[in-house]
């Protein structure tokens, strides 16, 4: 258990770890208290690399904590890793990541900010974009693009190969003789240098980011700055109840999903996920976990989370529509017709499934549309035509979109 004594109530929820527990000057609790005593806003860093187009609920945990700092008077320093995204964070990867182009990263960054609520009132957005004194949006190309070779050599000279190989993913790959490109060693250093560039007081990250945040502390010390504190938040388990929420695992709930898709996914989460979803995705009193049945908790959690991103009216409508589906009143759920999977022989490849169901004229047309990003399942773009579905349960109840129009709901 993490020691949260002395920390304000608004900060406590969901913290897995913070570090260091104390340093030579003050404890973490002291730094928070002194910021108010001295009327000094803390600079709270959160870096995101726009390597994709969608933010999911797992990401939202960090943004909600960043918003909590904003609401309590501090500065959220949101760093868009437009430069580092072109390298790719090696965390969690067992091979070198494909590098993105500058144009791809810029487009992804726009969609990220939109999903976080840019342009919306603060009451309807995840981050507060309206209070200009509580938000800085910085792009790390601002300082990383202009580093000369001497500066890069200085950064690399601050860390040893041994320290880099202490990073779990690097260690595994090294011992398994899986190649590690030299530029991958640069990623933690450049991400850590972000903390120097913005003079970060606190950095937020998932539990898999401790190494990178620690590198930031080391570099701040090297450049004679007060080192930041790190706050680590849990990694959200995906809808499968086993692996972390990740688009590559097809177990996510995206922030941009329509209310019906979001609610219907969440009300079906495995029982073992309910406590963590309540703690990390809602602000409800956790005593509710002792008062209601698992089914009631699923529905309440799904309603609460959907309300957060779509508003109360849309969330209640989604709940009502899901109940109509459960009762067999499918004709009353908007105008989404069902398509039967009874005649499909599983396992089946995605492109062939769509052809068999007559959603495309031919398999080749289905392949082209999938590869072009024109097909979504439950609002998640699926671009692999060879994706295999093993059984009807993989698709039952899910909504397939072609283009901008929701056309079918899979059923048995």
What angle, rounded to 10 degrees, do the helices at 182-197 and 149-157 form? 100
Count the Cβ atoms, other than its own, within 10 Å of residue 335.
Answer: 7
Find which of 97-106, 224-233, 330-339 is predicted with most confidence, using mean pLDDT. 224-233
Q: What is the per-residue pLDDT for 25?
A: 67
- For residue 98, is pLDDT > 70? no
What's residue 405's pLDDT? 45
Task: Report pTM.
Answer: 0.78
Residue 351 clears pLDDT 50, i.e. is over it: yes
Least confident range of 110-124, 279-293, 329-343, 360-374? 329-343
Q: What is the pLDDT of residue 407?
A: 59
C-alpha to C-alpha distance for 66 and 44, rounded to whole angstroms: 7
Q: Residue 337's pLDDT is what?
A: 62
Q: What is the distance between the terminal CA atoms of the chain, rounded to a whole angstrom?
A: 45
Contact of 59 with 111, CB cutoff 8 Å? no
Measured between alpha carbons, how far is 231 from 126 in angstroms, rounded to an integer? 19
Structural domains for the chain: 9-233 (3.40.50.620), 257-334 (1.10.240.10), 336-412 (3.10.290.10)
Strands lying side by side in the sheet with 75-80: 17-19, 229-233, 202-206, 43-48, 75-80, 135-139
**What pLDDT is attached to residue 251?**
87
Query: CB–CB of 89/168 below 8 Å?
Result: no
pLDDT category of residue 332 using cuts at 50, 70 and 90 = low
CA distances from 126 to 52, 230, 280 (A): 19, 21, 14
- Read off the pLDDT of each residue in 12-25 and give the average, rounded to a whole number: 81
**Separation CA 355–CA 351 (nearest Å):** 6
Average pLDDT over residues 81-109: 75
For 173-184, what is each residue's pLDDT tens digit?
989 999 888 888
pLDDT for 97:
55
Task: Indicate if the pLDDT at residue 163 is higher than 50.
Answer: yes
Residue 15 has pLDDT above 80, yes or no: yes
């Amino acid at each position: 258990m993490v020691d949260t004594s002395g920390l304000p109530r608004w900060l406590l929820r969901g913290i897995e770890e913070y570090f260091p527990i104390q340093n030579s000057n003050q404890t973490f609790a002291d730094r928070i208290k002194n910021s108010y005593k001295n009327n000094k806003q803390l600079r709270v860093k959160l870096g995101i690399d726009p390597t994709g187009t969608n933010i999911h609920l797992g990401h939202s945990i960090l943004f909600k904590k960043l918003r909590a700092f904003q609401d309590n008077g501090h500065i959220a320093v949101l760093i868009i890793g437009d430069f580092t995204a072109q390298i790719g964070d090696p965390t969690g990867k067992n091979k070198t990541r494909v590098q993105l182009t500058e144009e791809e990263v810029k487009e992804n960054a726009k969609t990220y900010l939109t999903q976080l609520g840019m342009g919306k009132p603060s009451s309807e957005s995840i981050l507060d974009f309206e209070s200009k004194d509580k938000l800085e949006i910085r792009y790390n190309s601002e300082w990383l693009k202009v580093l000369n070779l001497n500066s890069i050599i200085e950064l690399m000279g601050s860390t040893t190969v041994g320290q880099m190989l202490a990073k779990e993913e690097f260690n595994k790959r090294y011992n398994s003789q899986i190649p590690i490109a030299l530029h991958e060693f640069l990623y933690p250093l450049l991400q850590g240098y972000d903390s120097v560039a913005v003079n970060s007081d606190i950095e937020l990250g998932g539990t898999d980011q401790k190494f990178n945040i620690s590198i930031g502390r080391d570099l701040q010390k090297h450049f004679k700055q007060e080192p930041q504190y790190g706050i680590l938040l849990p990694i959200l388990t995906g809808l499968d109840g086993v692996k972390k929420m990740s688009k590559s695992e097809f177990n996510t709930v995206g922030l941009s999903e329509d209310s019906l898709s979001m609610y219907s996914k969440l009300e079906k989460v495995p029982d073992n996920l309910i406590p963590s979803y309540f703690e990390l995705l809602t602000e409800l009193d956790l005593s509710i976990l002792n008062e209601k049945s698992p089914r009631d908790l699923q529905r309440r959690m799904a309603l609460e989370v959907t309300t957060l991103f779509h508003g109360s009216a849309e969330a209640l409508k989604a709940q009502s529509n899901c109940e109509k589906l459960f009762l067999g009143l499918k004709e009353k759920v908007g105008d989404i017709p069902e398509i039967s999977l009874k005649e499909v022989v599983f396992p089946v490849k995605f492109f062939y499934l769509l052809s068999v169901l007559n959603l495309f004229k031919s398999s080749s047309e289905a392949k082209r549309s999938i590869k072009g990003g024109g097909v979504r399942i439950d609002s998640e773009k699926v671009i692999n035509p060879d994706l295999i579905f093993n059984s009807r349960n993989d698709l039952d109840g899910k909504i397939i979109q072609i283009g901008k129009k929701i056309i079918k709901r899979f059923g048995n």
